[in-house]
Amino acid sequence: RHESRRIDRQLRGRCARQGDPGMSRFFVSLEDDLMRLFGSDRISGIMEKLGIQEGEVLEHRWLNRSIETAQRRVEQQNFSIRKRTLEYDDVMNKQREIIYGFRSQIVAAEQVREHLLDVVQDVIYGRAEDLGDDEESLEAFATWVNSQFPIGFHPDHAVQKEGRRAGVDAEATARAVVERVEKAYADKCALENPQQLNSMERFIMLNAVDTQWQEYLRNMDTLRQGVGLRAYGQRDPLVEYKNEAYTLFADLMDRIKGEIAGRIFRATTSPQAYQNFLGDLQRLHGQVRTQHADLAPLAGGHAAVGGGRGGGAGGAADAGAEAAMNAALAGARTVVRDAPKVGRNDPCPCGSGKKYKKCCGKDG
What pLDDT shows up at residue 4?
A: 62
Phi and psi of 160, rounded to 5°? -95, 145
What pLDDT shows up at residue 212?
A: 95
Report the mean per-residue pLDDT for the chain: 76
Phi and psi of 252, rounded to 5°? -60, -50
Phi and psi of 244, rounded to 5°? -70, -35
Beta-bridge partner residues of 355: 347
pLDDT beyond 80 at 343 = no
Residues 133-140, mean pLDDT to the nearest whole number: 84
Domain extents in the chain: 3-16+24-82, 109-333
What pLDDT shows up at residue 312?
A: 36
pLDDT beyond 90 at 27 = no
Q: How far apart are CA 127 and CA 170, in angstroms?
A: 9
Question: What superfamily would CATH give domain 109-333?
Answer: Helical scaffold and wing domains of SecA (1.10.3060.10)
What confidence tens digit (pLDDT) does each residue in 58-114 have? Answer: 777 777 787 788 778 888 888 888 888 899 999 999 999 999 999 999 999 998 999
Beta-bridge partner residues of 303: 267
Residue 358 CA neighbour count, 13 Å, CB half: 12
Contact 157, 181 (CB under 8 A): no
Contact 243, 140 (CB under 8 A): no
What confidence tens digit (pLDDT) does each residue in 200-219 have? Answer: 999 999 999 999 999 999 99
Beta-bridge partner residues of 267: 303
The DSSP line for 14-25 is HSTTTT-SS---
pLDDT-based confidence at residue 115 (cuts at 50, 70, 90): very high
The DSSP line for 197-235 is HHHHHHHHHHHHHHHHHHHHHHHHHHHHHHGGGGGGGT-
| Global pTM value | 0.64
What confidence tens digit (pLDDT) does each residue in 285-329 have? Answer: 554 444 433 433 333 334 444 444 333 333 333 333 333 333 333
What pLDDT shows up at residue 310?
A: 38
Cβ atoms within 10 Å, residue 296: 11
Q: For residue 94, which of 218, 228, 211, 242 has the smallest C-alpha distance? A: 242
What confidence tens digit (pLDDT) does each residue in 215-271 have? Answer: 999 999 999 999 989 889 889 999 999 999 999 999 999 999 999 999 988 888 888
Residues 26-49, mean pLDDT to the nearest whole number: 72
Contact 339, 348 (CB under 8 A): no
Higher-pLDDT residue of 343, 321 = 343
Residues of the chain above pLDDT 90, percent: 25
Higher-pLDDT residue of 11, 326 = 11
